[in-house]
Amino acid sequence: MKADRVSMKYLFGALAVCVLVSALLSFWHRDNRAAQSPAPEVQARAGYDAGARTGVAPHTVAGSSPVQPSPVTKRTAHPSAANGIGSEGYGPHILKALSGEDASAAWSAFGWLRSCEFNAEIQAGMERFRADPKVPQDRLKLQLEMLQDEERKCQTVTPEMFALKPRLLLQAMSGKVLGAAGAYAGSLRGPLAAGEKVDLLAALRRDADEAEPEAIVWLASRGAEWGLSPVEGRVYELAAQAIRVPQQGLLDWFVKLQAAPPLPDDQEDRARAAAGVIAKKYQERLTQGNS
């Protein structure tokens, strides 16, 4: 039992790191796509099985009414040098976001802080590809220049500002910004009050049903301890498989560790149908983003 607890603690930490790095790269690519055109990006893998059933109603969990779609603020790119951030850097814009009520601005500020935290490590990692003949060097040079520009903007970010991330995430989550709930859940370092847990779970469900990968992974891995039914947990597990989240290997290991009994056929069918709806939404968003 003790070994299982240690294994689960390791898994949650590893899942959080994977989510963090994945979202960080998403923030950074999105910012630079707005600043320069075209910015080279790795094409996201949709992973949607064309044979999966689609067009069904939102999933229903045992003992509840169908989950209705919730309005979610579109995840927005944070401002770049092309639209207002110059030599003053990110610092004053982060403080402005914290003092206001703009959920999208708070989400952007969180993205800058997270980018600044890992900028040096990402640059060092990309530098190792300079001698790799398989890597287009012109694209690598452009990416490094973008990172160096980001590094200059980070110079006005103080250590105290990094402690503001939870407040910024709560502000973004309250404004229903897609992605904020998963990022906030991944940043937790202690227990939540009952009311806070209810609010976070509602936000995670809302984002997961809109095919947000971080929320899907969180609910697939920890939903049972937060009160999700076996059917609903299975929905998010299957959705994570369908969209091929970067954390899939760890998630598969965790599911085996839990050794949950298989669902009855009718519940499994319902879970697969609902996961197909989520996967379709994810594919549609990818298509819109690449158009």
Q: CB 170: neighbour CB atoms within 10 A?
A: 19
Q: How far apart are CA 285 and CA 280, in angstroms?
A: 9
The pLDDT of residue 54:
27
Residue 144 and residue 36 share a domain: yes
pTM of this structure: 0.68
Q: Report if residue 3 sits inside a domain.
A: no
pLDDT tens-digit map of 35-91: 333 332 222 222 222 222 222 223 333 333 333 334 455 554 444 433 478 899 999
Q: Indicate the number of domains in the chain.
A: 2
Cβ–Cβ < 8 Å for 186, 14: no
Residue 230 and residue 95 share a domain: no
Residue 173 and residue 255 share a domain: no
> CB-based burial of residue 34 (10 Å sphere; 0-12 exposed, 13-18 middle, 19+ buried)?
middle
Residue 173 and residue 84 share a domain: yes
* Boundaries of domain holding 205: 47-72+179-291
Query: Tokens 């045992």 — which residue?
Result: 62
Residue 289 and residue 186 share a domain: yes
Residue 267 and residue 173 share a domain: no
The pLDDT of residue 248:
59
Residue 240 and residue 133 share a domain: no
The pLDDT of residue 142:
94
The pLDDT of residue 211:
93
Residue 122 and residue 248 share a domain: no
| Long-range contacts formed by 251-256: CB under 8 A, 24+ apart | 251/15, 251/217, 251/220, 251/221, 253/11, 254/8, 254/11, 254/15, 254/221, 255/220
Helix (H, G, I), strand (E, B) or coil at 41: coil
Structural domain ending residue among the three candidates 177, 205, 239: 177
Give percent helix, percent strand, percent coil of the chain, each to the nearest 5.
65, 0, 35
Rounded to the nearest 5°, which phi and psi values hold at 177? -75, 125
The pLDDT of residue 65:
33
Residue 281 and residue 158 share a domain: no
Q: How far apart are CA 132 and CA 136, in angstroms?
A: 9
Residue 184 and residue 91 share a domain: no
Residue 183 and residue 130 share a domain: no
Segments of the chain scoring below 50 in pLDDT:
1-71, 76-83
Q: Report if residue 229 sits inside a domain.
A: yes
Residue 153 and residue 36 share a domain: yes
Q: Report if residue 112 sits inside a domain.
A: yes
Peptide bond into 38 cis (omega under 30): yes
Cβ–Cβ < 8 Å for 237, 216: no
Structural domain ending residue among the three candidates 114, 146, 177: 177
**Six-digit token string for 283:** 């594919």
